[in-house]
Every structure is written in structure tokens, then in C-alpha cells.
Structure 1
Amino acid sequence: MTDRGPALPALRHQLVAAVLTLAAPGLQGDAFDPAPLLTTLFTEACDADDPLPWIGHTLRTAEEAALTADLGTALHTLRATLPPDPRPTDHLHSPAWPAVTTTAARLARLLVTNDHHAH
């Protein structure tokens, strides 16, 4: 792997933490709140709607960017199923939630693997 980042390691850390939390929200217990995770994924650490420009900043590879875009799509689908002012449990009980956790798990594995193998 050619290491192309991260130029913004603190934001990379936030991104990895957000994706891991989406992959396993049950580990958060009652503290699970998706709002800051969505902020991280769509504004602070990358733009899940257009992640390619983030390669070299918080994303390392085109594959990470592609999975980030997939996660963004899953999250938009989830949002479409939620009531106005959703509670955290509304997210977890949505029929669109399994696609979020599955996609986040795939991305989390790749992010951690790429960090482990970076030189």
C-alpha cells in the first residue's frame, strides 16, 4: 500500500472512532448518540458525499473513499426512514440500520488494516 496520508491525523482518529461506533453501537450502551458521528462523517473529518478529495488528509486510499461513500449512502437512506427529531433508538430500530452497521464494519476493518500497514 502506498501511504497517502493522513495529513490530518487528529481528524483521522475522529473518523476511525466514528466508524467503529457506527459498526458496533451496542458497545456504547445508553450513551449512543449518532448526531456527532454524522457530523464527523459529513463535515469534520471527511465528506461522505464526496470523499475523494480527502485522500491524503483523513483517508489513505481510493478504497477507503469508496467505502466512505457507501457509508454516506447508507446513512442518507437511514435518515429518510427517521421521524423529525429522531431519538438514538429511532436510528437503531430503523429497517435501514443494518446496512449502516454492515457498511461501517467493512470500512472500520479497512481503516484499521490500512493504519496497521502504513509506512
Structure 2
Amino acid sequence: MTEDGQLLSNFRVNLVPAVLALANPPWQRAVWLDPSVFENLDHIFHVLFDDFCDAGQPERYLGTSLRTDEEVDLMRQLGSALIAAGSEAPDDTDEQYLRAAAWPQVVAVAGRLAHVMVANDLGELAALHRTGCGEAVTGP
């Protein structure tokens, strides 16, 4: 695997689960609203806006944590939806975010982005498998 491919994998192993969490309301209620669990919405915000992407301006992450222009566009939409939900959470609590009128839009966009990201990752995995199988079959 190339150095760029390794970087992309390292970023996505954090980014994809964060997007999946945003697409899963039962997970959000069970995990984020439980104070004994490490993960919360603040963690998700750090992954999406600080550590592995900038959901507000994701273009520069194409090839680093995002694979396609479609992922960039959906990440931008997700960032906008999260910011809109944040405007309805004056105390910045997970409970307020989950009750925000804008939250269903967050879940919907995250669901579309999760679908695209997972499909792209599976496509890449299949391509690697085909290449690996071809080398194993034709190799010494």
C-alpha cells in the first residue's frame, strides 16, 4: 500500500464510524446520552471538524480522508446540517442537539454519506482483492 493509501485508510478508520454514528438515532440515544460511555457528540465534532476532516470546508480533504467529489459534497452538507442543529442547542448539550428540529436533516445526510463512503471503501477493497488475487495466481 502506498503512503497516501495508508494515510487515507488511517483517516477513514476514524471518519467512517463517526458518520455512521450520526446516521443511527438509536445509537445516539443509547451511547451519547449515557454519561458512563466515552463517545459523545463532542467526540464526533472533533473527528469531523478538527482531527480528520473539516466538515465546513472539506475540499482539501479529497484524497486524504474523502475519496470522491460526491463524498466532499455530502460532507459539506453534513457540516451545514450540524451547524444548523447547533444553532438550536444553546447549551451545546447532546440532548439539545438530538431534539433540534434540524437533527433529522443531520441523520438523513449522514445516512447518504455513510452509504457512499462504505460503498466506496468496499469498491476499493474489491479492487485490492482482485489485484492481490491476480498477483497470487500469476506469481511464482
The TM-score with structure 1 as length reference comes to 0.89
1:6–1:19 Cα change, 3 Å: farther
| Gap runs ≥5 in structure 1 | none
| Gap runs ≥5 in structure 2 | 33-39, 128-140
Maintained 8 Å contact 1:60/1:114: yes
1:29–1:94 Cα change, 3 Å: closer
Count matched residues. 115
76, 86, 96: which one pairs with 1:90? Answer: 96
How far apart are 1:6 and its partner, in Å?
6.4
Match of 1:79?
A: 86
3-state SS, counterpart of residue 18 of structure 1: helix
The TM-score with structure 2 as length reference comes to 0.76
Maintained 8 Å contact 2:88/2:96: no
Is the radius of gyration larger for structure 1 or structure 2? 2
Calculate percent identity across the aligned residue pairs: 37
How far apart, CA to CA, are the structure 2 residues paired with 1:77 and 1:59?
22
Residue pairs, 1:1-119, within 5 angstroms: 7-32=7-32, 33-84=40-91, 86-118=92-124, 119=127
How far apart are 1:112 and its partner, in Å?
0.1
Aligned residues: CA RMSD? 1.6
How far apart, CA to CA, are the structure 1 residues paired with 2:6 and 2:79?
20
Instruction: Determine which structure has greater relative contact order: mean sequence separation of CA pairs < 8 Å that are 6+ residues apart, divided by chain length.
Output: 1
